[in-house]
Amino acid sequence: MSEKRIHIVGDLHEVAIQKFTSAGYDVSHSPNYDEKKLLSLASDAAVIIMTDMAFDKNWFDALPNLKLIARRGVGYDNIPVESATKHGVWVTNTPGANAIAVAELAVTLILTVLRKVNQATNSVQKGEALTYPASLMGHNLSGKIIGLIGYGQFVSYDTLLAQSDIISLHIPATPETSGILNHEAFSKMKTNAILINTARAALVDEEALVEAINTGKIAGAGLDTTSYETIKTASPLLNHDQIVITPHIGANTVESEYMTAEKVVASVLDFFNNQKPIYRLN
């Protein structure tokens, strides 16, 4: 039965589960970040579908029937692709499935920071004056220069840092990109610039970010990802007027979840049909 076993870690849209079960595959589930249950329930699975939990390369020995790791998402820095290849295991992801949702949240964060939406909401809730408070004077998005890191550089990195009013990150976390927004980078940015990160927390030196904002080197930030899954209450990122944080909801829309599930199904069914998975990474 193991050749038809699929184990899902975390959540996956019901449309995918229905397609698997209707095709005769045996599906099991375990919670995200529960290693013990994963290894127990997936011990004979041919396919494991991962959400955000990191896949430990030591698990391959405990999962002898594993042939495919399907990442339910785009980033795969939490999957040891090289080790999977050595063990004869395919790795796939779901490119583009959440692109629109993430882009829309990036724009939302830009406008939220520029127009001081969080401060304005807090002001209303505190019963403060509602008429044109000077402390809530914002900026137009119109006319601003937006630098997209990850779209393809039409200018050099240093030029992008120096000329952009808004810098938005859209690259994976790798050894080469880790901490690229650091003290040196912030020192090259405009003092009115804001940073938007809907990609990976590892791209940003958070201590350097807070210092840059506090010392007026840059104006603010909108972050959909931080170095903590549950941010600590003592973090200097919190309760900061010029930093807006959302809990990694960039891909969290009904539409992107459905598209993600469809792409997971496509790769898994390719595998079971003895074809190379369409969204393979190795």
Of the residues 7, 13, 71, 200, only one is catalytic, namely 200
Distance from C-alpha of 198 to C-alpha of 212, rounded to nearest angstrom:
19
| Residue 253 φ then ψ, to 5° | -130, 155
- Compute how many other C-beta atoms are within 10 angstroms of the C-beta atom of residue 108: 19
Of the residues 229, 255, 257, 280, only one is catalytic, namely 229
Sequence-ordered alpha helix ranges (H) in 47-155:
81-86, 99-114, 117-125
Distance linking the first and last C-alpha atoms of the chain: 26
**On the CB side of 71, how many CA atoms lie within 13 Å of its CA?**
27
Of the residues 87, 115, 248, 280, only one is catalytic, namely 248
Amino acid present at 194: I
Catalytic (active site) residue 13: no
79 three-state secondary structure: coil
Catalytic (active site) residue 72: no
Catalytic (active site) residue 5: no
Q: Are 260 and 95 in contact (CB under 8 A)?
A: no
Handedness of CA 266, 271, 274, 277 (dihedral sign): positive
Q: How many helices (H) and strands (E) does the chain have?
A: 9, 10
- For residue 203, the 8-state DSSP code is G
**Catalytic residues, which ones?**
200, 229, 248
